[in-house]
Structure 1
Amino acid sequence: MRRRLSNKSDYYFDAKTRQYKHKSEAEIESNFMTIDELDSYKENGKSIRESMPPSGLGYNQSFDDLLSELIKDRLMELNKYVSINLLEKKLIINTKTLKRDCFELIEI
């Protein structure tokens, strides 16, 4: 019976607990670290992090990228309604599109 279970099924006999266990449980247990391993990893990780320079974008660079994306979105929205002709020095506003999209044009 024991041989048949170990050869033809996903179970094995654990001699320490004297129980049959599923093989996937053993794989899951082996994937987790013990408390001692975690503590030693934490201490080693600090020294590794301190020796390596930080990688990736800095805080300011990330913020600048986000800001530039927001500005691009706003300009693309304005581009639907407004165009500038520098040669003739004209500012062309499409009022029909503005009204259709429920915007109000206020001239000063």
Structure 2
Amino acid sequence: MIKYDPSIDYDDFIETYNRSGKEEATKLARDLYNLSFQQIKRRMERQTDYTYDRTTGTYRHREVPVGSSDKFMSLEELEKSRQPVQNLEMSAQGMDFDKLVMELIYDRGLELSRYIRINHGTRTVIIDKKSLINDGFQVVEN
């Protein structure tokens, strides 16, 4: 015996049930799929991740917690909350020159600290010559 399994639009069925109730979902099942409400309900429980929520009297996905609609924004809300990106161009008038020089010196010091260690206690300087050469620097000794 061949089992008849029409392709059922479970999303539409659930939306009809949640919006209009069991009577409308029963009519949809009978008219569109020639199945009873119980047959579609059993197939839905086996083949989908929808579950019945007794507290709200609706069907929902298993992963979606109750009341999760408040956690997601609609496209309209998302569009309204969008802020324009500010132009971050550096202007010579607005930038403090001394601050810029200090930032450049700090960046250069951080780069050098990867290769050079100074120990004031023992009065020694340790230079990682191998890393300097591997990173493309030339080491010149006087």
Q: Does TM, scored on the shorter chain, surpass 0.5?
A: no
Provide the TM-score with structure 1 as the length reference.
0.43
Provide the TM-score with structure 2 as the length reference.
0.33
